[in-house]
Amino acid sequence: MDPRWQYQVRVIMLGDSTVGKSSLLRRYTEGVFLDAVNETVGVDFYVQFVELEPGLRGSPGGCSPHFSLRLRSVTRSYYRNSAGGMLLFDLTNRASFESVRRWHREVMDTIQPFHIIFLLVGHKSDLAGQRRVGRKEAETLAASPGVQYVETSAKDASNV
């Protein structure tokens, strides 16, 4: 067994374009934030080792599929064998929030009969003055499929 890790877990990040999936992944894995990021076409894949408990390391491979109609059949294959899913929306973009149910349904339909643990993520919390989705509304949405909710910002590294 590779001495660097004992477990590897795939976590997928889903959400509309420009919600900040790549920025959040880059902040988590590299500790950096770039103001200007090119839109990702295809799939970003990052690996980050974490210590699950003293002496036990794991690798939650973060996978961020970015969709267009041409790529949809390819990227659905990334749903399978994933242990976790982050449903991201941009707190300043109401339409991205309204897409969350569709992303959740698509994953659930694809992976049946298996299950994934989800986390609902309201991203770009640093832009409080431009907010279009309230915390209470997001918490209500998270409660319907029984997932946790967190607000985060890749820019100021809060809750990353």
What pLDDT digit, counting tens, does each position of 112-143 carry? 888 889 999 999 999 999 999 999 999 999 99
Q: What is the pTM of this model?
A: 0.78
Q: How confident is the model at residue 4 (pLDDT cuts 50, 70, 90)?
A: low
> What is the CATH number assigned to the segment(s) 7-152?
3.40.50.300
Give residue 98's identity as a one-letter amino acid code.
Answer: E
Q: How confident is the model at residue 46 (pLDDT cuts 50, 70, 90)?
A: low
114 and 124 Cβ atoms separated by less than 8 Å: no
What average pLDDT score do residues 11-20 get? 88
Q: How confident is the model at residue 43 (pLDDT cuts 50, 70, 90)?
A: low
pLDDT at 30: 84
Tens digits of per-residue pLDDT, 93-117? 999 999 999 999 999 998 988 888 9
pLDDT at residue 37 tops 90: no
Rounded distance between C-alpha atoms, residue 90 and residue 85, angstroms: 16
pLDDT at residue 7 tops 70: no
Q: Which one-letter DSSP state was computed for residue 39?
A: P
CA dihedral 119, 123, 126, 127 (to 10 degrees): -140
> To which residue do tokens 């989705």 refer?
133
Domain boundaries, the chain: 7-152
Q: What are phi and psi of 60, to 5 degrees?
A: -80, 95
Tokens at 128, concatenated: 């409080």
Q: Which residues contact 62 (CB under 8 A, 6 or more apart)?
A: 11, 13, 25, 28, 29, 44, 45, 46, 47, 48
Bridge partner residues of 8 (DSSP): 59
